[in-house]
Amino acid sequence: MREALKKRVLIVYYSFTQQTRILVRQFCRGLEGEGVEVAFERIKPLNPYEFPFKTDLRLVNVMIRTFFRGRKEVEPVSDRCFEAWDYIVLAGPTWSYHPSGPMLDFLDRYGASVLRGQKVIPFISCRSYWRLHHLSLRRVFKKLGAEPQAPIIFMHPTKEPYRFIGLLLKLRGKMIRRNWFRKHYEMYGHSKEQAMQAFDYGVKLGKSMLDS
Ligand SMILES: Cc1cc2nc3c(=O)[nH]c(=O)nc-3n(C[C@H](O)[C@H](O)[C@H](O)COP(=O)(O)O)c2cc1C
């Protein structure tokens, strides 16, 4: 039997280029440091996308599908998702202004049974456009009878247009080695400082849970 007072958080996440995964791992470390029990549930598409995309057309195809909220069927989730949690963190990237195809499919299939009656924290990793994504998640949570909490948002820290070019290159498995580009674009995705920030968010949530 689990300790009577132990607080519990479930992190349900999808991550394509590993940015969400890196951040939620740090977030989890922060929570665990405060004595919170954390479980992970990774959303897995039945037929994963290729990575990197072999042609521009295939990449554009996925972007267009997601723009129209196209779903990507996911594998069944584990039984622990249906337990009661103090919080559920729903984490994933923004794709074409929306949640990703696998996340939308998860919400269709399991949203009602996993999220109803639970406090849900949206956790978003994106290049820059998260507002519509967040709004649509809030709408779904309310419809499902979940309690939406304040979101945790991370945007790629590099300036435009470099972060947009960098994203496209990453998705196509390419790289610009020229110095002028490197000067403006150190690397794809989130920074080390943001990973530390994710850790701090975990600590903060952990402390608030223990105080409540
Ligand atoms: C198909 C696709 C579409 C994307 N569309 C957007 C978008 O509309 N707005 C945005 O800010 N980022 C967009 N991104 C960038 C991701 O949100 C960003 O790279 C995120 O950090 C990836 O997280 P992940 O590695 O956990 O998948 C898109 C990425 C992909 C693969």
- Tell me, yes or no, if the pTM score tops 0.85: yes
166 found inside a domain: no
- How many domains would you assign to the chain? 1
Q: For the segment 12-40, what is each residue's pLDDT rounded down to a tens digit?
A: 999 999 999 999 999 999 999 999 999 99
Residue 186 domain-assigned (yes or no): no
Question: Which residues lie across from 95 on neighbouring strands?
Answer: 98
Q: Is residue 179 part of a domain?
A: no
Would residue 31 count as lying in a domain? yes
- 212: confidence class by pLDDT, cuts 50, 70, 90: confident
Mean pLDDT of 137-150: 98
> Is 202 near ligand 1, meaning CB less than 6 Å away?
no
Pocket test for ligand 1, best of 24, 95, 103 (most atoms within 8 A of CB): 95
CB 82 within 8 A of CB 113: yes
pLDDT given at position 3: 58
CATH code of 64's domain: 3.40.50.360
CA 198 to ligand 1 centroid distance, Å? 18
Instruction: Tell me what the pLDDT averaged over the chain comes to.
Output: 95
Task: Give 94's strand partners.
Answer: 99
Nearest to 20 by CA among 86, 69, 89: 89
State the Cα–Cα distance between residues 79 and 81, nearest whole angstrom.
Answer: 5
Can you give the pLDDT at residue 107? 98
Ligand 1 neighbourhood includes 43 CB (under 6 angstroms): no
Instruction: State in Å: Cα 140 to ligand 1 middle.
Output: 20
Cα separation, 107 vs 113, in Å, equals 10
| Domain membership of residue 121 as a residue range | 8-158+191-211
User: Has residue 1 got a pLDDT over 70?
Assistant: no
What's the 33 CA to ligand 1 centre distance in angstroms?
30
Residue 29 is assigned to a structural domain of this protein: yes
Q: Output the pLDDT for position 180.
A: 85
Calpha distance 44→4 (Å, rounded):
32
